[in-house]
Structure formats: structure tokens, C-alpha cells
Chain A
Amino acid sequence: MSLISELLIISVGAILVQNFVLVQFLGICPFLGVSKKVETATGMGFAVIFVMACASAITWAVQQLLDLFGIGYLQTIAFILVIAVLVQFVEMFLQKTIPSLYSSLGIYLPLITTNCAVLGVAIQNITKYAGADYSFLKSVVYGTTAGIGFTLAIVLFAGVRERLESSDIPEFLKGMPITLITASLLSIAFMGFSGLSF
């Protein structure tokens, strides 16, 4: 199989079949927290894409370094360090360039640090693609597309939630209950991709 088709499979897998939020259930916190408006959801999505892509690249290199010295068990702590730095960087960047997005993301921006989806990407990169040729490229593609998958899920969900705002919902379901039901329906819809094969 050529590299291009391999990368394509990785992309489709990360975006649809193994969607981080709706199939793997990683990164649920910002998924529910920042999905009230499409605009903020998009901003959050792009922030996550950036962090995931950079984290994939850097953690791949860090893993090589750790393996070189035989201290692979420090993986988690080292990865979290990398992710924290990246998130800090994104935070500074947004505060300077898009202050309105910065304030609307609020606490969820620094919380990307502890977003398990980001750490999940880094760990999965190591376990899935370790040792293979071009694994660095695959890692970065997987990280980026995983971020795109997250963005897709959160933007879709925000669109649904915006509609929910103006619909007639029974009193006892208003707020979080209907949100969770909607999320699970969306998740079931994404399960439909699991039969996809090439």
C-alpha cells in the first residue's frame, strides 16, 4: 500500500471511524462545555487541532529521546509537560491576537492541558505507529486529523444545541439532560462508520 493511501486511511479513521469524542469518548469535558455556540466551538476546535498536531510531532521526538535512554516509563509525565507548554503558548497567542475568543473560551482553554484526547493522541501515536517507516509523518497526520475529528464533532454538536435553544423541550429535560441525550444520539450516528472498510 502506498504511503498516500495509508495516510488517507489514517485520516478517515481518525475523523470518522475512530472519532475521538463520539466513538472513543475522549475529551468530553470541552465537548459539553464549549458547545453552546458554533463560533466558540470552532475556535476551540482549531485550538485543539493546533495543540494535537504540535503535540504529536513533539511527543514523537520526545519518545525517541526517552527510548534512547531506556526511560520510556516517563512517557506520561513528559507528554503532559509538552502539552502544558503548547497550551500555554496557544493561550498567550489567543490573548494577543483574538481576545474575544480568548475570553469566550474561558477556563476550557487551559483545560486543554488535561484534555485526555490530547494525551490520548500522543499515547496512541506511540503504540500504533512505533517503529514503522515514516512513523513521524503518520503521527503528525493522525494527530492533526484527530483534532479535525474533534472539531467536526464539537461544531456539529454546537449546531444542534443552537437549534435546541429555540425548540420546545419538556421542562424536566431542559438544559443538561437533553444535551446528553443529543450527544448520545450523535454518538450512535457515528457508530455507523464502524463498518467502513477499504
Chain B
Amino acid sequence: MEILLPVVIIGGMGLLFGALLAVAAKIFEVKKDERIPLITECLPGANCGGCGFAGCAAYAEAICTEGAKVSLCPVGGNGAAEKIAEIMGVEAENIERMVAFVACMGTPDVAKDRYANNEAISCHAANRLAGGMKGCAYGCLGCGSCVEKCSNGGIAIVNGVAKVDKELCTNCGACIAECPRGVIIRIPYSSRAAVFCNSKAPGKEVRLVCDAGCLGCGICAKNCPKEAIVVENNVARIDGSKCVGCGICVEKCPKKCIELINKNAKIQVAVEVNKRT
């Protein structure tokens, strides 16, 4: 009996309060868009913030209430975008698949080493050793730390410079985080041309240390018919969405550090360009 009384009283209080809260919940019910939980379901739930919103739930809410685009999730990719588009009843735009790209073509024959390369050391160690063996402070050291980090075996050291196989790249960013030089960047998978240089140094300095370094002269930008090239921080960058792969910049570059990287795409578009002109 002694144990029963407290149980009944506290239990009764709990029941009473529970009932009151249930009533209050009905009165103060906030009508939420039914699609928000459905969309949240489609998203990866990583809350990485890659879409530009605070998390997956915030992005789902933004889609419903603020009319955010359905294709902003870089992790879920086209699969997630299609599902969301179905829920929202709109057409999904294609998400540009991004891949890692090593912006350097400073092989040992064009970019001279300042001291003998000891291949046993990691990129980080080499970078700390008097700023790396390369004369250029921005180029790939070729010690292969990124090769080890790539879980898909998509990176190889070719002639002293890392190369990413874009077919194998999943855009996980492990190599970008690993690289002490910041020479690995993200470019669209469909990019037709790319600048193989990362040097932010002024052209004069670049010229002294590398024969294939971007001087930031801007000849490519001036000659680009699509205005797809901008020179920022002494290095040219190509906007993959504007580039048509005409190859004019490749011809004009005095250092030949721009190359076409998607040959098939070039031919198709080149034909198109010819028709127009």
C-alpha cells in the first residue's frame, strides 16, 4: 500500500500532464509541408552542407518553402535530384559531376628540381624540407601521398606528376585534403580544356622555375570566344560550363600549359561552332 500511493500520484500527474500536452499540441499545431520529410528521406542525411544549407533537413525545407533548386545535393547526385524532382513535380536538372584534377604539368624536364628527389618521403615531408624540391612553390611534388589516399586507385604518378583518372574519381576530396601544395582542384567531369598550372606567383618568377607554368598573361582569356577563361591570382582558370572545347587557348598559350582533356567532346562542339561561323 505504501508503494502504491506514490506510484498512483506520480503516475496520475504524468497522465494528466500528458493529456494536457496532447491538447496543447493540437491547439498549437504547426502545419508543416508534408513533402519535407519525404524529401529528407531522399537526401543522404550526411548533413555535410555541400548544398549551401545548414543540413539535409534545412535543404529539404528550403526546397519546399523557398523554392531552392532540387539539384544542389552533391553527394546524392542525379539519383537524389530525380527523386526530389518527382516529389516536387518539377524537371530535374543534371548535376554536373565534379572530379579531382591535378593542375600541374611540371614534369622534371620542364620544372627543375632544386635538390635530389628522395622518393621514399611523403609529400608533406618533402614540402617541409626547404619548401619542397621543386623550384615552383605551387607545383605537384610527385611523392604520391594522394595516390595512397585515393580509395579507388584513381591517381598515379606519371613522370613525376600526379594524374587523376577521372573515370575512377568519385569526388570524395581525400586527395584534395591530403595535398600539402593545394595543387589538386575540382573541375567538372565534362570539362573540355584545363589549365595545367597552379602557380599563384607572378609570371616572372614562374618563368624562372618552370617552362610550362602559367604566367597569368591573359592571352587565353582575350582570345577565348566564349569568355570562359579568367585570370585569378596569376593563374588562368577555365569555366567548364562555358568552354566549348574550341582549342584556341591551347594554340595561343605561350607556355602550352592548357590542354584539351576531353577530345571527343571537342570534335562535336567544334563542328557546331564551325556551322555557326
Contact = CB atoms under 8 A, between A and B. Distances in A.
Interface residues of A, number: 18
A96 B30 contact: yes
Interface string B12-25: 01100100110011
Nearest to A84: B17
B10 A77 contact: yes
A95 B30 contact: yes
Given A69-B5, A71-B5, A93 B28 contact: yes
A81 interface: yes
A85 B5 contact: no
Interface string A65-76: 110010100100
A88 interface: yes
Contacts of A77: 10
Given A92-B24, A95-B28, A66 B17 contact: no
Size class of B's contact patch?
10 to 19
B12 to A, nearest CB: 10
Given A89-B24, A95-B28, A81 B17 contact: yes
Contact of A74 (B6, B25, B28): B6
Nearest to A91: B28
Contacts of A178: none
B9 interface: yes
A85 to B, nearest CB: 4
A156 interface: no
Interface in B29-55: 29-30
B17 A85 contact: yes
